[in-house]
Amino acid sequence: MLCCIGGVCVPYSAVVPLILLGIKWVLAKLHLYGLLPNFIAEMMNLKHLQQQPQKSQPSSCCNSENESSKRSKRKKTASGSNSEISSVVKRLESEEEFDDLLKKNAKVVVKFTATWCVPCENIHPFYQEKCKEYSEYDFITVDVDDFDDIAGKYSVAIMPTFIIVQGDTTVGTYRGSSQPELGTFFNEHL
């Protein structure tokens, strides 16, 4: 038997799990904003989720170099101008920052993620390694909950989604969290 709501039909046996999944999502959001008691977070196994980082915290996460040594690294480009080498994954702080990165007309690697996405967290150390390996490119993470306009522009429906953008052109898109497939994706497009 099916339960049809609008154009979506769901077997009756799936209704309860879907409702429970929705409740867990709401509780995860409440926990992220500190609005959920700890005992409920522990009961729902939400303790691994952390509150969103404050804007004043450094967004670098790939290595332990201090900011001044990172800024001092330079790379000579084909045109003869200097551009900063990126060896850290940056967390996007504003849409203006994203627009500025695209204006540089260099390839930018973007990971669309969410704080509640476990596969996104699991693939992040590998993403950090690739950031170091391809240090001539900017690697950023975009939280789809914070920047839904950017996520919508690139039709992000699955997380994690990785895109490589150059200017206004999408060079490539990979959806998923398989390390070998993501490595192949980077080898082909960077």
pLDDT digits (tens, 9 = 90+) for 141-172: 999 988 988 988 998 888 899 999 998 889 99
> Between residues 100 and 44, which one has the greater pLDDT?
100
Which residue is catalytic, options 4, 61, 120, 131?
120
Residue 51 lies in a domain: no
pLDDT digits (tens, 9 = 90+) for 78-87: 333 333 444 6
Does 141 share its domain with 105? yes
Residue 24 lies in a domain: yes
Residue 59 lies in a domain: no
Would the pLDDT of 39 be above 90? Answer: no
Average pLDDT over residues 8-33: 81
Does 80 share its domain with 16? no
For tokens 């390390």, the residue is 179
Residue 60 lies in a domain: no
The confidence score (pLDDT) of residue 66 equals: 39
For tokens 């939400």, the residue is 46
Output the pTM of the full model: 0.55
Residue 150 lies in a domain: yes
Would the pLDDT of 42 be above 70? Answer: yes
Does 79 share its domain with 15? no
Would the pLDDT of 58 be above 70? Answer: no
Does 37 share its domain with 90? no
pLDDT digits (tens, 9 = 90+) for 169-182: 899 999 998 999 99
Residue 95 domain boundaries: 67-189
Does 26 share its domain with 111? no
Residue 79 lies in a domain: yes
Would the pLDDT of 50 be above 80? Answer: no
Which residue is catalytic, options 4, 61, 117, 131?
117
The confidence score (pLDDT) of residue 113 equals: 92
φ and ψ at 38, to 5 degrees?
-60, -40
The confidence score (pLDDT) of residue 28 equals: 84
Residue 164 lies in a domain: yes
Would the pLDDT of 60 be above 50? Answer: no
Q: Is 117 a catalytic residue?
A: yes
d(CA 187, CA 190): 6
d(CA 152, CA 126): 25
The confidence score (pLDDT) of residue 87 equals: 60
Residues with Cβ within 8 Å of 51's Cβ and at least 6 positions away in sequence, in order, are 32, 33, 34
Domain with residue 147: its CATH number is 3.40.30.10
Would the pLDDT of 2 be above 60? Answer: yes
Domain count, the chain: 2
For tokens 């390996």, the residue is 133
The confidence score (pLDDT) of residue 57 equals: 38
Residue 159 lies in a domain: yes
Does 35 share its domain with 112? no
Does 95 share its domain with 183? yes
Would the pLDDT of 120 be above 80? Answer: yes
Count of alpha carbons within 13 Å of 147, Cβ hemisphere only? 24
Q: Is 3 a catalytic residue?
A: no
The confidence score (pLDDT) of residue 163 equals: 95
Does 33 share its domain with 108? no
Would the pLDDT of 70 be above 50? Answer: no
